[in-house]
Chain A
Amino acid sequence: AQKVTQAQTEISVVEKEDVTLDCVYETRDTTYYLFWYKQPPSGELVFLIRRNSFDEQNEISGRYSWNFQKSTSSFNFTITASQVVDSAVYFCALSEGDVSGTASKLTFGTGTRLQVTL
C-alpha cells in the first residue's frame, strides 16, 4: 500500500525566510509519481509540480525548488524568500502508475500548514 507522510503539521516563518516542507513516501512500485499541491485559504487545490520515479533531478521554479531523493524516499519542497502570499496548506501526493501513464488515484499526505508573517 502507498503512504505519504508529512510530519510537519504547521510551520510559521517571517517573510523572506527560507522554509522547507518535508515529504516522505512509501510505495512498492518502481514506477510512481510524486506531486505537490497548494491549498490557499480560498480552498482550491493548485497543482505545483509532478515528478516521476525515474527522474531524480532537482527542480527549481522561481522561488520554489524540489529535492527528490529515492534513497530516503523523500520529496521535499523549499520556498526561498517566503512571502505572505505563500501562506497555505501544502500537500504532497503519490500516484502509482505504469509507463503508459494510466491514471491512478492520488494518495495525499496530511498537509503542512505554512504561515508567513510580516
Chain B
Amino acid sequence: EPEVTQTPSHQVTQMGQEVILRCVPISNHLYFYWYRQILGQKVEFLVSFYNNEISEKSEIFDDQFSVERPDGSNFTLKIRSTKLEDSAMYFCASGDDGSSGANVLTFGAGSRLTVL
C-alpha cells in the first residue's frame, strides 16, 4: 500500500526559530497539501500545491509559511519564525489526478510541532 511519509514525527523548537517539515508524497500523485490540527481541534486546510505552484491557501497560511517541492519527490513546509500558536500536528497529503471524481487524499502520519 503506497503511503505518504512525513519527517520528523515530532519536533520541539523555540519560539522564533525556523522549522522545516518534510513529506514524501505518493510517487504518481499530482496534488499536494498541508493541513494542521491543533490539539483536540479539527483538521484545517493550509495550502494546496499543483504543477509546482500554490493552487490555494487559507488565511492561516500567512507570510511566515512557505512550501516547496525542491526535487520532485519531497514536499516541504517551512515556518520562518515559529510562534507558540503554531504548535500543532501538521499533516501532509497527496492526491491523484481525480479522474474518478474528487481525488481521495492520502494523509501522512503527521509531524507534531511543539513551540516553546
- A residues whose Cβ falls under 8 Å from a Cβ of B: 32-33, 35, 37, 42-47, 50, 52, 91, 93, 95, 97, 100-111
A104-B50 Cα distance, complex, nearest whole Å: 11
A44-B101 Cα distance, complex, nearest whole Å: 24
A46-B108 Cα distance, complex, nearest whole Å: 9
Name the contact of B110 in the complex, choosing from A44, A52, A103 (C-beta under 8 A): A44
Within the complex, the shortest CB–CB distance from A6 to chain B, in Å, comes to 9
| B interface SS class | strand
A95-B101 Cα distance, complex, nearest whole Å: 11
Residues of A within 8 A of B75 (CB): none
Residues of A within 8 A of B112 (CB): 43
The 8 A CB mask of B68-91 against A (1 = contact, 0 = none) is 000000000000000000000101
The count of A-to-B residue pairs whose CB atoms sit within 8 angstroms is 73
Residues of B within 8 A of A109 (CB): 42
20 additional A-B pairs beyond A97-B101, A103-B50, beta carbons within 8 Å, are A33-B101, A33-B102, A42-B109, A43-B110, A44-B108, A45-B43, A45-B91, A52-B101, A91-B43, A97-B98, A101-B99, A101-B100, A101-B102, A103-B102, A104-B56, A104-B102, A105-B33, A108-B43, A110-B41, A111-B42
Residues of A within 8 A of B45 (CB): 105-107
The 8 A CB mask of B94-108 against A (1 = contact, 0 = none) is 010111111111111
Residues of B within 8 A of A105 (CB): 33, 45, 48, 56, 58
